[in-house]
Amino acid sequence: MIRKIDVGSVFGTAQRTSYEYMKLLNEKHNGNFKTLVVDDKDGLHSLPFANHGSKVVMYEPNEIYINGGIIDDEIITPISNRKYYKENIDKIEIRNKNFYESNIEEKYDFVYCYRSLHENHNKKIPMKRKMRKLLSSVKDDGYIYIFYHMAKNESDISNFSKNQYFRKGEMQSYFDPRIWEIITIIENDHNTNHNGHPYHKKNHEHRIGHIFARKKNNRLVHKYFYEITLL
């Protein structure tokens, strides 16, 4: 059984780098900022984000992760029973729906997307549509972090659908340099071990990548080009 530690998620603890992003946003906005977390399971990142000062909108289509139950002999604790939720209930909004199919258009200071794009409930949604939805949710001068899965065999479309798995260099192509400043992008050439979890109990491997980027203040960019044109 996966050990429940820290915030009580069956997936373990939030990524360490996520706390660095919270520190960055806290300092930039003096504690007044809002984060979108997509497909966050049982609040793996949403709860610690709220506990570190952010207002959070969390999307998760699987009701069991939110309200509790059993998946593959794993007991899922209802988010409402969790310590960080009780202490930060006024900061967290949970939406039990698929983010990529939502018609709600909102902008956030930070968009956090961790192991979402390849999920089976998203596999019929074209990758371009999912990426467009994510990128359009970032405010000017806001940030986005995406942790994504890559095809182990790029020619194997049947096992590594292009709607779910990125090819080498593909992610960067979505970030127009006129609009985005890529701060970090790393794509592994080797596979990374991943502990078992609900719906995939055995330990397994993935080829992964992650990107952290800032959306430029396009109003200033447009103003600059407008003034140059007038001159």
pLDDT of 199 above 80 = no
pLDDT band at 37; cut points 50, 70, 90: very high
Long-range contacts of 72-76 (CB under 8 A, 24+ apart): 72/198, 72/199, 72/201, 73/1, 74/1, 74/2, 74/10, 74/197, 74/198, 75/10, 76/10, 76/42, 76/198
SS3 category, 40: coil
H helical segments located in the chain: 16-29, 46-51, 63-67, 83-87, 127-135, 170-173, 218-230
In the block, which residue shows the tokens 């409930």? 121
pLDDT band for 142, please (50, 70, 90 cuts): very high
What was the pLDDT predicted at 3? 37
Domain ranges of the chain: 16-230
Within a 10 A sphere around the Cβ of 71, how many other Cβ atoms? 16
pTM of the predicted model as reported, rounded to 2 decimal places: 0.87
Residue 198, helix vs strand vs coil? coil
Q: Are strands 138-150 and 69-71 parallel, antiparallel or unpaired?
A: unpaired
DSSP string, 107-143: -EEEEEEES-TT-GGGTTS-HHHHHHHHHTTEEEEEE
> Over pLDDT 70: what percentage of the chain?
87
Q: Is the pLDDT of residue 193 over 90?
A: no
Average pLDDT, the chain: 88
Q: Exposed, middle or buried, 155 (CB in 10 Å: 0-12/13-18/19+)? A: exposed
CATH class of 16-230: alpha beta
Q: How confident is the model at residue 38 (pLDDT cuts 50, 70, 90)?
A: very high
